[in-house]
Amino acid sequence: MSENYIMETKKINCAIVGLGRIGSTLEFDRKREKPASHAGVISAHKECVLSSGCDIDEAKCSNFKNDWNCPDCYTSLSQMLENHRIDILHIATPPETHKNILEKAIESKIPVIIVEKPVSDNLKDAVKIEKMSLKSDSRIIVNHERRYTQQTERIKKNINECRYGKLLSINSKMYMGRKRSLESMIYDDGTHIIDLINYLSGGCLRIDDITGSEKEGHVSVYAHCSEIYIQMEFARGREYLLFETDLSFEKGRIISGNGYYDEFESRESPYYENFYSLMNKDVNFSTSGYFIRMFEDAVRCFKDPGLVPVSDITDGVNAVRIINEIIRKI
């Protein structure tokens, strides 16, 4: 625990750089599970205080001060870092800005830094950030929020405990609207799927083959991790948004998507003699806890500098490396 934490205030001081959608305004989307933004999650945590914000856009600063009743907002990051003792810094700016901001945050010895995914818009910078952070005392959490959901925690536990026998394959799909380029889709959003699959399969995802192209609007990635067979499909041209992960085990299957979760167990078939069928186990989740559980990881890391976050900088860089490999081939 830092000395300052005890001496200056009982609360953990948090600040945000980048006061756009994920930094602040997604909180006001009436349909989203809350908290849905960095400002929202800090404000909802009783051990933390939202002490300041920073955005190069003055209008964003002014809205932020009103929306969150936060007195201090800066258009200069250096000034914010000089004026405030920050325990947890949230970086919610576009990916191409992450490297410079992280450099300043690490130089300022911020104990815990949460950076939005993807770590960077290019692999070279992502690797530089990783090297820099590994030499420092700052711990970086990459907000690949799907790692943190209750659903993912249950899946990971099932895998680790071999509840349905060995995990044999993972199939995942990400579908989006007509206008998106596959490259931006994979960089901005596909990173969640890539990171999640790498996490669930044990962190050793290796690509075997890639088919499809930007022109076709469809890409299939064939990969493996140890003996687990992996397929990822990215496609545009749908009227709906789909993120789905389908895991098949020796004795079961789990399908987890945005807003749904189904877990099946192999049982003596009610439909055929001498066969087994998959029967739904009726596992229900009313929420996912995606944002609050990520932030609780940051708070834990702040209180105990020995802890390694669930989603660390190396995980984030691995996702950028895999994205790069896919994008080079489409």
Ligand X SMILES: NC(=O)c1ccc[n+]([C@@H]2O[C@H](COP(=O)([O-])OP(=O)(O)OC[C@H]3O[C@@H](n4cnc5c(N)ncnc54)[C@H](O)[C@@H]3O)[C@@H](O)[C@H]2O)c1
Positions in the binding site for ligand X (CB under 6 A): 17-23, 54-57, 60, 77, 92-95, 97, 116-117, 143, 145, 188
Task: Give the amino acid at 294.
Answer: M
Q: Which residue has the tokens 């700052």?
A: 138
Nearer to ligand X, 26 or 299 (CB): 26
Query: Which residue minimizes CB distance to ligand X?
Result: 20
Handedness of CA 103, 108, 112, 116 (dihedral sign): negative
Nearer to ligand X, 27 or 233 (CB): 27
Q: How far is the CB of 99 from ligand X (least distance, A)?
A: 11
Nearer to ligand X, 60 or 236 (CB): 60
- Report CA dihedral (153, 183, 106, 61) to the nearest 10 degrees: -90
CA atoms within 13 Å, Cβ hemisphere of 5: 16
Chain centroid to CA 183: how far?
18
Q: How far is the CB of 320 from ligand X (least distance, A)?
A: 12
Q: How far is the CB of 143 from ligand X (least distance, A)?
A: 5
Q: Given 3-state DSSP classes, what are the helix, strand and coil percentages for the chain, each rounded to the nearest 5? A: 40, 30, 35
Q: How far is the CB of 274 from ligand X (least distance, A)?
A: 47
Report the 10 Å Cβ neighbour count for 59: 9
Q: How far is the CB of 8 from ligand X (least distance, A)?
A: 25
- At residue 137, φ and ψ (nearest 5 deg) are -95, 0
CA–CA dist 73, 36 (Å, integer): 21
Nearer to ligand X, 193 or 301 (CB): 193
Nearer to ligand X, 18 or 217 (CB): 18
Nearer to ligand X, 105 or 170 (CB): 105
Q: How far is the CB of 211 from ligand X (least distance, A)?
A: 26
Q: Which residue has the tokens 């989203």?
A: 32
Measured in residues, the chain has a length of 330
The encoded tokens of residue 280 equal: 């739904």
